[in-house]
Structure 1
């Protein structure tokens, strides 16, 4: 049986999740505005900016996390709300959010020094929201429903994403992250790098399932 591992009232949970959702959507909105403004000032296609925006694993995963928090903050029942609040769904998103934060800190943080609004968006999407969403998962997601088999479903998300960025990169010559840039690294090293990240994803997933069973 599942149980809610928190003594917070339903109203308190909704209030907290409302604030978390606002933070999440704000980070996403700031980053989108920065990308579109850069495209606008350079005379590039805004549609291309949207494609570029949604080509980042960070953006996709933070969007999913913000959707979960928004659903948790509302009372109105819907098919979408029921889907996102399933423990196996919200927990899989938690795994991806943790990977976003860890991978950024280990692989990307030292490659650039963002400033101003870019720094703010960067911090919200890579540092703040992964931690806050993990805390949300710990305190507010019912425990006891996860099984090892769910990891197989969660792994489909990064696998499909990796296939997408390889296809997009082949067609457009643009890759979202330097460690999967086939033009510079070649397919062998790119696949090796992606496999390492996938292995880390699976380790985090196993830990999440273990914590779920323990709590």
Structure 2
């Protein structure tokens, strides 16, 4: 607050003194923490709703359900938002937490891109047990995690060589799915099923995705070099 007081023919501006020890970013941190927790609860409720609905329909197969990249990524997103929200509330941060948040952002960006490009043409009922879960898990949660990475504070930049290690996550997932698929006669996604276009089709799709995801990893790491205004003290 500024108060203008006359002094002779001069106008003197008097500034209110800020209380000692006041943190100008405290309000923003509180809002960020609340947003993190709310989106974590939203993602958790969507996952729980999926499980409860499938159980009620006698269609819940734990091995299949937890073999979806979407489910795994959203579970990590819930953990990331809660842990980073708690750390932010406590005024703590670390490079390890940033690396974990970056990996989760990479996974959720992968979920969003693959859904839009390869899966959005399928009916929502074939992708999730409850239609609103489809919106939450494939759109709202990825966007929330990406926004969190863009605007919430970070300790420092993510080295590119470490960011590229994130590519091991979808690679290991692909290997796991191709090994498990023939054993249980089930694949989580059509583009991973060799019976649809053969192993050559799966290989071509995988190579294209690898290139795209490498660019995503680079982008996520590059964003970490930018510090949001007002988030670092």
The TM-score bracket by the shorter chain reads 0.7 to 0.9
User: What pairs with 1:118-157 in structure 2 (closer than 5 Å)?
Assistant: 118-142=130-154, 144-157=156-169
Secondary structure at 1:165's aligned position in 2? Answer: helix
* Matched positions, count: 200
What residue in structure 2 maps to residue 187 of structure 1?
199
Larger strand fraction of residues: 2
User: What pairs with 1:1-215 in structure 2 (closer than 5 Å)?
Assistant: 9-38=28-57, 40=58, 46=60, 49-74=61-86, 86-114=97-125, 118-142=130-154, 144-215=156-227
Tell me how far 1:138 sits from its aligned partner: 1.1
Structure 1 segments, 4+ long, off by >6 Å, are 81-85
**Higher mean C-alpha displacement, 26-35 vs 53-62:** 26-35
Q: RMSD over aligned Cα, in angstroms? A: 2.7
Answer with 1 or 2: which has the greater Rg.
2
Tell me how far 1:183 sits from its aligned partner: 2.2
Larger helix fraction of residues: 1
CA offsets 1:22-70 (integer angstroms, 9 cap, x no match): 11101111222233233x1xxx6x5xx1111101000000100100111
TM-score, normalized by length of structure 1?
Answer: 0.83
Distance 1:168 1:198 in 2: 21
Q: Any gaps of 5 or more consecutive residues in structure 1?
A: 1-5
Q: Any gaps of 5 or more consecutive residues in structure 2?
A: 1-24, 228-233
Structure 1 210/146 Cα, relative in aligned 2: closer, same or farther at 3 Å? Answer: same
Preserved contact between residue 157 and residue 221 of structure 2 (Cα < 8 Å):
no
